[in-house]
Amino acid sequence: MTVREIATRGLSFEVVETGAGDHLAICLHGYPELAFSWRYQLPVLAAMGYRVWAPCQRGYGATSKPDGIDAYRLECLVADVAALFDASGAKTLTLIGHDWGGAVCWSFAIHRVRPLERLVIMNMPHPRCFARALRNWPQQRRSWYLAAYQAPELPERMLLRNDAAALRRIFTRHAVDPTLFPDEIVDIYAAAALRPGAMTAMLNWYRAVPLNPRPRWLPDNGRVDVPTLIVWGDEDKTLGLETLDRTDEFVRDVTIRRIAGVGHWVQREGAATVNTILTEWLPAVPG
């Protein structure tokens, strides 16, 4: 694996790359992670014949951190992915996303920004399904932080004080097995969040989304026609299982694979099972 700097759309993206070829798999991390979160999947995807890019998305890691909330609107995040694909020179695209990265993937597929071969989503429901669940108390209770993050400056202070102690606890509190997130691993995420401007940029992803249980207008009611795999850690404390209900109303060809005993950080907590699911569901790329 190598780390590259990709300049596009006036920004610089830190991208971890492995594999080769014309079929690009882009892996998009969530909050408050980095491209590092895909370290167990990248070699597996490369062995299947994919050229794999795992970018630190805007605001994260060494990637540019533009000022202002508007710079983190979902349409900007989606356009980043399209620009990375264009810059790669690849001919075919598969998207894989977790958490906020999954939200970007859903929007990319719904808006048909570029032709997609396949779509893989990990622990992030379709936006219509999430909006429906968010009308009810159980998911509202789990999503309390969406409102808390809207406040200016205070969330940054709370998360970063005492060497980012509160941000560190996000990983261990939302893991079924906290020992999978020892200090030396969480230190990597904390150091990235402590970079100048990083925490504000990361929270601006949330601030750019209006607190409205109904998603913004979506073409064709949010329909996705690309073959889609949803991998779900059943012990997710942030997103209830009800957010998966009736996904097939919006996704024509969907496969849902639930993993028992695994929480929100599914690609780490259930790495071996996730990798098996990926190799079974994704077609190998001819050499």
Q: Rounded distance, CA 237 to CA 29, Å?
A: 18
As for how many domains the chain has, the answer is 1
- Domain membership of residue 52 as a residue range: 2-281
Tell me, yes or no, if the pTM score tops 0.75: yes
Domain membership flag for residue 72: yes
At 229 the three-state DSSP class reads strand
Alpha helices in 174-230 (DSSP H): 183-193, 198-207
Query: What does the DSSP 8-state code read for residue 272?
Result: H
Domain membership flag for residue 185: yes
Which amino acid appears at position 248 of this protein?
D
Domain membership flag for residue 287: no
Q: List Cβ neighbours of 48 (8 Å cut-off, separation of 6 or more).
A: 278, 279, 282, 284, 285
Mark the ranges of the chain whose per-residue pLDDT is less than 70.
211-216
Q: List Cβ neighbours of 273 (8 Å cut-off, separation of 6 or more).
A: 259, 262
Q: Rounded distance, CA 251 to CA 253, Å?
A: 6
Domain membership flag for residue 155: yes
pLDDT of residue 212: 54
Domain membership flag for residue 44: yes
pLDDT tens-place string over residues 15-62? 999 999 999 999 999 999 999 999 999 999 999 999 999 999 999 999
What is the side-by-side strand order in the sheet with 228-233? 2-8, 11-18, 51-55, 23-28, 92-98, 118-122, 228-233, 254-259
pLDDT tens-place string over residues 223-236? 999 999 999 999 99
**CATH number, position 36:** 3.40.50.1820
Domain membership flag for residue 219: yes
pLDDT of residue 242: 97
At 39 the three-state DSSP class reads coil
Domain membership flag for residue 286: no
Point out the residues that are catalytic: 99, 206, 264
Q: Rounded distance, CA 78 to CA 132, Å?
A: 23
pLDDT of residue 213: 47
Q: Rounded distance, CA 15 to CA 8, Å?
A: 12
